[in-house]
Amino acid sequence: MLKVSQLTKKFGTFTALNGVNFEVGEGEIFGFIGPNGAGKSTTIRILLGLIQATSGEATIFGKNVWSDAVEIHKRLAYVPGDVHLWPNLTGGEVIDLFGKLQGEMDRKRRDELIARFDLDPTKKCRTYSKGNRQKVALVSAFASEADLFILDEPTSGLDPLMEQIFQESVLELKEQGKSVLLSSHILSEVEKLCDRVGIIRQGEIIESGTLEELRHLTRINFVVETKERIVGLESLNGIHEIEQLGDTLSFQVDSSYIDEVIRHISQFGIQKLESTPPTLEDLFMRHYEPKVTSAQGGRSQ
């Protein structure tokens, strides 16, 4: 459906993207996350044929994103994070204009979505708040017959209620077998919606896979109490942030070393053992931190 390989983009001497690879399959929701300035929007703008890649290849529906942009866009819908509209047109007019340019739009679905997102289509865009401008873009995207949806921080201005409605709408798309590329900073949203995620940092994809897979690649928090004092823990592989608090000991273990660690501590007579899986926040935070190298990030050897 969507395939990006070795995508590189330079702005003058600055390398914004450096060999990005990922794929979005049919009927899949792909989360695209990373810190500010990582290159998410740049990738998306290349996918939309708005800017030209310096090197590498990107295809959608098997077609080249730059030379076949018009063909591709007939079956594609896009929502930017920062929606700018014509100040003296109404929201309804803009939705219709987009619909007409797209080719066809289901009137019933359009009105249904306007009602669902609680948008007043008779107001001039000049008077819309940020969230309302975003709704205009969302309504015209969801009302289209597209097969692929590219959403770049589509909810950055929405209130929690609207966020909920947005999520429902995306899940509906999924039921219809449509594909979504969702870039977002709202991790709970990504966790709820996405089948797979790709993490980009400084123009490189540093991790991608299903959430389960990513969890496996990370550390698990342990808190233990043992009869005897545990010794020799430091010398084990894959163990981090050991902290002694009275009788209890807390530490983190890279998921691939859990077995060895448990074997080791069980020698000391476990009285209490708590393990908590990493939250998504933990998971992402570690990738977002600037100093983390991919080896420490738990990439399996």
Partner 1 sequence: MSQLVFAQTGILSRFIFRQDRWRIMFWIVGISLATWSVPIAFKDLYGLEEQRNVMALTMENPAMIAMVGTADLSNYTIGIMTAHQMLLLTALVVGIMNILLVARHVRGDEEDGRLEMIRALPVGRLSNVHATVIVFIMVNVALAVISGLGLYALQIESMGLEGSLLYGATLGATGILFISVTSLFAQMCESTRGTIGFSIGFLLIAYMLRAIGDISAESLSWISPLGWITKTETYGLNKWWPVFFLLGIALVLFVITYLLNARRDVGAGLLPSKPGRKYATSFLKSPIGLSFRLQRVGFISWAIGMFVLGVSYGSVLGDIDSFFQGNERLEQMIASDNHLSAVEQFLPIIMMVMAIIATIPPIISMNKLVGEERKNRLEQLMAKSISRTQVMARFVIVALVNGMVMLSLAAIGLWSAGTLVMEEPLSFREFYQMGIIYYPALLLILSLAVLIIGWVPRLTSVVWLYLVYSFIVVYLGELFQFSNFVIQISPFGHIPQLPLEEMSWMPIIALLSLSSLLIVTGIIGYNRRDIQG
Interface residues with partner 1 (CB under 8 A)? 12, 45, 48-52, 69-71, 73-74, 76-78, 80, 82-86, 88-89, 97-98, 100-103, 137, 150
Which residues in 17-56 contact ligand ATP (CB under 6 A)?
Answer: 34, 36-42
> Closest distance between ligand ATP and the C-beta of residue 232, in Å?
43
- Count interface residues toward Mg ion (CB under 5 A): 1
Among 1, 2, 4, 16, binds ligand ATP (CB under 6 A): 16
> Closest distance between Mg ion and the C-beta of residue 197, in Å?
16
> Closest distance between partner 1 and the C-beta of residue 7, in Å?
14
Say if residues 150 and 77 touch (Cβ distance below 8 Å).
yes
Nearest partner of 43 among 5, 13, 83, judged by Cα? 5
- Count interface residues toward ligand ATP (CB under 6 A): 11
- Name the binder of 73 from Mg ion, partner 1, ligand ATP, none, CB < 5-8 A by kind: partner 1
Nearest partner of 91 among 112, 119, 115, 118, judged by Cα? 119
Question: Is residue 14 part of the contact set for ligand ATP (CB under 6 A)?
Answer: yes
Question: Is residue 11 part of the contact set for ligand ATP (CB under 6 A)?
Answer: yes
Which residues in 24-43 contact Mg ion (CB under 5 A)?
Answer: 41
Which is nearer to Mg ion, 41 or 279 (by Cβ)? 41
Nearest partner of 25 among 209, 158, 258, 264, judged by Cα? 209
Say if residues 132 and 91 touch (Cβ distance below 8 Å).
yes
> Closest distance between partner 1 and the C-beta of residue 102, in Å?
5
Say if residues 38 and 203 touch (Cβ distance below 8 Å).
yes
How far apart are the C-alpha atoms of 190 and 168, rounded to whole Å? 13
- Name the binder of 38 from Mg ion, partner 1, ligand ATP, none, CB < 5-8 A by kind: ligand ATP
Strands (E) located in the chain: 2-11, 14-24, 29-33, 55-60, 63-64, 76-79, 148-152, 179-183, 196-201, 204-210, 219-226, 239-245, 248-254, 270-276
The Cα-based distances of 245 to 149, 226, 242, 250, 275 in angstroms read 50, 12, 10, 8, 16
> Closest distance between ligand ATP and the C-beta of residue 236, in Å?
37
- Name the binder of 39 from partner 1, Mg ion, ligand ATP, none, CB < 5-8 A by kind: ligand ATP
How far apart are the C-alpha atoms of 148 and 178, rounded to whole Å? 6
